[in-house]
A and B are shown apart, each in its own frame.
Chain A
Amino acid sequence: MSIEPARPDDFPVIRTVGLSGMLVTFADRLTEAANRATLAFRSVVEHSLVEGVIETSTSLASVYVRFDPSLVSHSTIQGWLEGLLTKQNWYGADLPEGRRLWRVPTVYGTDLAPQLAEAADAAGMSEAQAIDNLSATRVRVLTIGFGPGQPYLGTLDEMWDLPRQTGLTPQVPAGALVLAIRQLVLFSITTPTGWRHVGQTGFKLFQPGAAQPFALTAGDELQFDPVSKPDFLRLRDSDPDFGGATAQDILT
């Protein structure tokens, strides 16, 4: 028997996005229940689409619906979403089926990931403690976004609730593992970021020419196993697409 997760006050809430979108938000901070609600609600939205909807997506705690306002009105979209929201307690929904666990060889710190020391210090740990903690944590793909096939991963322990930097790091490479606000992101592209670069992997999350161009789906889980820099370089050379990362099904 499980306890029904509580709905946060004032949520879910429906708001407009620009001229042609609507956003259903389940919480203003990331919680396990809000992320489950988000993944489950989008799946129902996708199965009951109304005419004029162009596409849908999820962020950590919100479902986005993009539509063509010349084909369907804001009030029709709002009414449809309100109707779906009343169907069940979305905060108690199950995670999607067919999820996978990825184990990803990762070099923590060194010149390849120069902000580990800074992040560990901000979290009140030594570098060794930080590596132990991060590599022992199995994180879930909470959502995909910002770059092609790129996951937001969580949730890390409380001490990793670090704000983003005020300035941007001009460039971190694809495969970079970066950290902020109790989450990790594994970058699929080379990009500027306000998150701290704590690890480096050789995992290509987006392989444009491949039959399956996107490696991860929301709900998959990852564990970042520590390897030495020489081992990392060797894996990257011998397995250029995955850097030694392997997947297995999560049995439910």
Chain B
Amino acid sequence: MSGLRVRRVGPVVSVQDLGRPGYLSRGVAQGGVADTTALYEGAALLGQSPALAALEMGGMGGEFEALTPLRIALTGAPMVASIDGAALTWNSSCRLEVGQVLSIGAARKGVYGYLHVGGGFDSDEHLGARSVHMAAGLGQPVQTGEVLKVGADLDGETGLVLAAEPRFEGGEVRIVESFQSALFSPETRLRLGETEFRRGQRANRMGVELTCDGPPFQAENQLNILSEVITPGDVQMTGDGKPFVLLRECQTTGGYPRIGTVLPCDLPKVAQAPAGSDLKLKWVTLEEGLEANRRYEVELKALPRSCQPMVRNPAGLPDLLSYQLVGGVVSAFADPFEKES
């Protein structure tokens, strides 16, 4: 059987794919990866479909032993990673041979890291998708000792690297008005767009808390509003006027009013914002939002063409003269704030 044995694993690690649309009327949210961009990046690095499932690792990864030769790729929040002690470059693909141990530690920035395998993880489907949806009782987080089955790999290249869209330190995200925005006064809506928020301590795959100084964001007659449909990205105010940005594993309906909706293309940045990082909500029109999201979808489709052969650190190469060192390759993964080791 093709797969990986889990020797050690963080507490919030689960198999995720693009989710299960079509069950909204049954009360089941689409769910799926918290960082959609990362799923497409992993698929591009392995030259396979973004519909295949990956391992989502919240805050920290684990130790995985290859039971068969595998191609792997790492995307999303950069984590400390190595194979049998040799450091790995994040946002790249490589091979994992039988018996080799892949170690993935804590996130250096961001929240959710992703481990992709050639052929995708072949876990059981629940209501037509492999995405674990813990709040709905669909599937379980990954446990120590488990063997993660891997689907048939078409095989292909490794040693590719991709420039990650920066989204791991908070920042500005765009928001459009939605059907309940008018429940909030124009002044309250304006103030939302001018407020410097920080990501609060309360966050999971359902949503993240925003904190700020200043008064709460109250709607008119907030406690008696009819329960209405919730969509991922909705900025919901709890009873005491605290904003939460809801993510893809949110509930399907709820009674707390939503002041607006974060664009789907900016939602990975919210999910990946570490606790305490700055976040700002910028109002855009529906037309601006549609255009931004259209461009994002074009960029996702273009990711496979953006993959580059990896630039290696010459100090780590045993036979330097045998390598072709001159070429049109850009260092797509270098972090300017970190010293070369």
Nearest B residue to A207, CB-CB: B137
CB <8 Å contact, A57 and B25: yes
CB <8 Å contact, A145 and B226: no
Tell me whether A230 is interfacial, beta carbon within 8 Å.
no
CB <8 Å contact, A19 and B293: yes
Contact partners of A168 in chain B: CB under 8 A? 238-239
Given A55-B21, A208-B127, residue A164 in contact with residue B223 (CB < 8 A) = yes
**A148 contact from B136, B254, B294, Cβ within 8 A:** B136
Tell me whether B263 is interfacial, beta carbon within 8 Å.
yes
CB <8 Å contact, B179 and A23: yes
Kindly state the separation between the CA atoms of A55 and B19 in the bound complex, as whole angstroms: 14
Complex interface residues of chain A between 107 and 164 (CB less than 8 A to chain B)? 143-150, 152, 163-164
Given A21-B231, A163-B223, A194-B239, residue A148 in contact with residue B28 (CB < 8 A) = yes
* Nearest CB of chain B from residue A213's CB, rounded to whole Å: 7
Contact partners of B239 in chain A: CB under 8 A? 164-168, 194
B154-167 Cβ-contact flags toward A at 8 Å (1 or 0): 00000000000000
CB <8 Å contact, A18 and B231: yes
CB <8 Å contact, B27 and A144: yes
**A145 contact from B135, B136, B223, B252, Cβ within 8 A:** B252
The interface stretch among A66-74, A82-90, A242-250 is: A66-74
Contact partners of A70 in chain B: CB under 8 A? 294, 297
Nearest A residue to B292, CB-CB: A19
Contact partners of A42 in chain B: CB under 8 A? 25
* Nearest CB of chain A from residue B51's CB, rounded to whole Å: 15
Tell me whether A47 is interfacial, beta carbon within 8 Å.
no
CB <8 Å contact, A166 and B240: yes
Among A59, A167, A180, A214, residue most surrounded by chain B Cβ atoms (within 10 Å): A59
CB <8 Å contact, B26 and A144: yes
Given A64-B24, A167-B240, A208-B127, residue A19 in contact with residue B261 (CB < 8 A) = yes
Kindly state the separation between the CA atoms of A54 and B25 in the bound complex, as whole angstroms: 12
A10-29 Cβ-contact flags toward B at 8 Å (1 or 0): 00000111111101010011
Contact partners of A189 in chain B: CB under 8 A? 135-137
Nearest B residue to A46, CB-CB: B25
Given A74-B286, A147-B27, residue A59 in contact with residue B21 (CB < 8 A) = no
CB <8 Å contact, A62 and B228: yes
CB <8 Å contact, B137 and A148: yes
Complex interface residues of chain B between 107 and 144 (CB less than 8 A to chain A)? 126-127, 135-138
B262-277 Cβ-contact flags toward A at 8 Å (1 or 0): 0110000000000000
**B229 contact from A29, A30, A64, A214, Cβ within 8 A:** A64
Given A143-B253, A145-B27, A147-B27, residue A59 in contact with residue B233 (CB < 8 A) = no
Tell me whether B200 is interfacial, beta carbon within 8 Å.
no
CB <8 Å contact, B25 and A17: no
Tell me whether A58 is interfacial, beta carbon within 8 Å.
yes
CB <8 Å contact, A19 and B264: yes
Complex interface residues of chain A between 195 and 224 (CB less than 8 A to chain B)? 206, 208, 213-214
Nearest A residue to B226, CB-CB: A60
Kindly state the separation between the CA atoms of A113 and B26 in the bound complex, as whole angstroms: 26
**A55 contact from B22, B137, B227, B234, Cβ within 8 A:** B22
Tell me whether A188 is interfacial, beta carbon within 8 Å.
yes
19 further A-B pairs in the complex, CB-CB below 8 A; given A19-B289, A143-B227? A16-B178, A16-B179, A18-B234, A19-B176, A19-B286, A19-B290, A28-B226, A29-B226, A54-B22, A58-B25, A70-B297, A145-B229, A163-B223, A165-B239, A166-B240, A168-B239, A181-B255, A189-B137, A213-B127
The 5 lowest CB-CB distance pairs between A and B, nearest first, are A145-B253, A18-B261, A15-B179, A163-B223, A57-B25
